[in-house]
């Protein structure tokens, strides 16, 4: 588990992913990710348009 800090810029919030996470998961600038609620917290996963719900949940 890796701790990240939420930062604010204007009306947006962002997190910065540490280098070890970027390398471990092969994340690149411009990649799309899903963020979803899990029983134990938020989950990030690769974006797959086939899995997107019409309600945006």
Report pLDDT digits (tens) over 13-39: 999 999 999 999 899 999 999 988 989
Q: With pLDDT > 90 as the criterion, what percentage of the chain qualifies?
A: 49
Residue 50, pLDDT score: 86
Q: What is the pTM for the complete model shown?
A: 0.63
CATH 1.10.1200 assigned to 6-50: no
Q: How confident is the model at residue 54 (pLDDT cuts 50, 70, 90)?
A: low
Q: Is 56 left (phi over 0), alpha (psi -120 to 50) or beta?
A: left
Q: What contacts 1, CB < 8 A, 6 or more positions away?
A: none
At residue 17's C-alpha, the angle toward residues 19 and 12, to 5°, is: 150
What are the structural domain ranges in the chain?
6-50
Lowest-confidence segment of 7-11, 41-45, 52-56 by average pLDDT:
52-56
């Amino acid at each position: 588990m890796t701790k990240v800090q939420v930062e604010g810029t204007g009306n947006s919030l962002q997190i910065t992913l540490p280098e070890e996470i970027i390398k471990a998961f092969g994340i690149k600038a411009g990649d799309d990710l899903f963020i979803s609620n899990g029983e134990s917290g938020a989950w990030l996963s690769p974006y797959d348009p086939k899995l997107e719900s019409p309600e945006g949940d």
